[in-house]
């Protein structure tokens, strides 16, 4: 007996939206079972990772600041993936955004003025976009697959941080620690809710998502991105250049990742350290897919992933789960989502195998 996948004539619209929910629920069930089997408190793990961050109001501010970079990078990736541009290197573009912003912060060290932060934001966006331009050039000029180039550039960017914080940008008063000095006041993001750690990056993330949603649904630019991704031949017929669209998709996703890098370095970190690349750029890939490549969906998906980050940290202290547990849950979520998508678009059909020799 064999099975084959048969394309459904019309994928159910309801299922398209229910699949992300189903993926999260399945992750909780199967993940819990797996952790029970290997000797941990599986139900406790699910509770700590998925529920405690929601029920414990003290953790909400953590959710906000974890979700913000995921939202900004995630909407950028959603734009790129809609155009069939598989930018996997948002982490590297995020790092370069942080590096460029740090460059501005260190150059303007000791300077006061409202313009320092906007300048850092522009530098961050430019840094991310410039780094994304490398795979864009390689893809449009030489036809090099962007998945490999963008991914590998991430590792190069991390080495750049290591170099910068150990040599030219090393804090002169840092007693030899590989890190830059703490940014001066004007280069640090203000908190917006007194007494919490919620910084300006959180509302900026929401505004960015709404803005991108508007552009993607209402503007000709969004139409161009969607048509190039859905049917490149039709896009050419409609007068949209595929290469120009690839460029735009890279610049938008790289620029937004760079903005997220600037907000992180000026917000929670306030200096550049070797531990700056925390994997937001990779997690945002899951966010983009879980959010159905829709900027509004990305907001919800980013909150779900932020919950697993915060919950993962909680579970380490409360029930002694390893640090990798949250990563395993996140990966399972992406797996169930992609598997679910296949079943929404295709159905499994049994092929009755007829042996030619036996019958003839």
**Residues within the interface to other proteins (CB under 8 A):** 9-10, 218-221, 223, 226-227, 230-231, 233-234, 236-239, 241, 354, 356, 359-360
CA 338 vs. chain centroid, Å, equals 16
CB of 242 to other proteins, least distance (A): 11
Q: Which is nearer to other proteins, 9 or 176 (CB)?
A: 9
Based on C-alpha coordinates, what's the Rg of the chain?
22
Q: What are 245's two structure tokens?
A: 């669209």
In the bound complex, what is the minimum distance in angstroms from residue 240's beta carbon to other proteins? 8
Question: Which helix (H) or strand (E) is 349 found in, with range?
Answer: strand 346-351
Q: Shortest approach of other proteins to residue 247 CB, angstroms?
A: 16
150 phi/psi in degrees, rounded to 5: -65, -35
| Residue closer to other proteins, measured from CB, 173 or 357 | 357
154 vs 224 by CB, closer to other proteins: 224
Question: What is the C-alpha to C-alpha distance for residues 324 and 311, in angstroms, rounded to an integer?
Answer: 12
Cβ-based nearer residue to other proteins, 245 or 270: 245
Q: For residue 20, what are the CA distances in angstroms to 31, 284, 297, 320, 331?
A: 16, 15, 10, 28, 13
Instruction: Give 192 or 234: the residue with its C-beta nearer to other proteins.
Output: 234
How buried is residue 273: exposed, middle or buried, by Cβ count under 10 Å (0-12/13-18/19+)? middle
Residue 313 to residue 311: CA distance in whole angstroms? 5
- DSSP letter assigned to residue 87: -
* Distance in Å, CB of 229 to other proteins, minimum: 10
- Closest approach of other proteins to the CB of residue 50, in Å: 33
């Amino acid at each position: 007996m064999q099975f084959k996948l048969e394309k459904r004539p019309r994928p159910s619209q309801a299922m398209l939206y229910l699949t992300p929910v189903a993926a999260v629920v399945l992750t909780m069930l199967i993940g819990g079972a797996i952790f029970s089997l290997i000797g941990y408190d599986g139900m406790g793990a699910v509770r700590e990772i998925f529920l405690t961050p929601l029920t414990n109001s003290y953790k909400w501010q953590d959710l906000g600041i974890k979700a913000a970079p995921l939202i900004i990078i995630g909407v950028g990736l959603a734009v790129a993936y809609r155009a069939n541009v598989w930018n996997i290197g948002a982490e590297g573009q995020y790092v370069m955004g942080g590096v460029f912003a740090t460059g501005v912060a260190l150059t303007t060290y000791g300077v006061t003025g409202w313009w320092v932060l906007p300048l850092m934001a522009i530098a961050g966006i430019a840094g991310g976009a410039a780094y994304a331009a490398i795979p864009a050039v390689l893809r449009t000029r030489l036809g090099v697959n962007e998945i490999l180039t963008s991914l590998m550039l991430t590792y190069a960017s991390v080495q750049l941080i290591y170099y910068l914080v150990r040599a030219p940008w090393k804090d002169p008063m840092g007693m030899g620690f590989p890190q830059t000095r703490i940014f001066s006041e004007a280069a640090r993001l203000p908190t917006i809710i007194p007494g919490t750690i919620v910084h300006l990056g959180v509302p900026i993330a929401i505004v960015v998502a709404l803005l991108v949603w508007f552009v993607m649904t209402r503007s000709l630019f969004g139409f161009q991105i969607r048509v190039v991704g859905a049917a490149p031949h039709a896009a050419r017929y409609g007068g949209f250049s595929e290469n120009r669209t690839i460029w735009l998709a890279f610049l938008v996703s790289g620029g937004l990742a760079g903005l997220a890098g600037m907000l992180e370095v000026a917000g929670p970190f306030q200096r550049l350290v070797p531990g700056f690349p925390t994997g937001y750029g990779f997690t945002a890939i899951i966010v983009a897919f879980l959010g159905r490549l829709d900027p509004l969906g990305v907001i919800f998906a980013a909150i779900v992933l932020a919950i697993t980050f915060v919950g993962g940290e909680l579970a380490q202290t409360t029930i002694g789960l390893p640090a990798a547990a949250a990563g395993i849950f996140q990966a399972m979520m992406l797996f169930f989502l992609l598997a679910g998508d296949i079943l929404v678009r295709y159905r499994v059909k049994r092929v009755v195998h007829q042996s030619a020799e036996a019958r003839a």
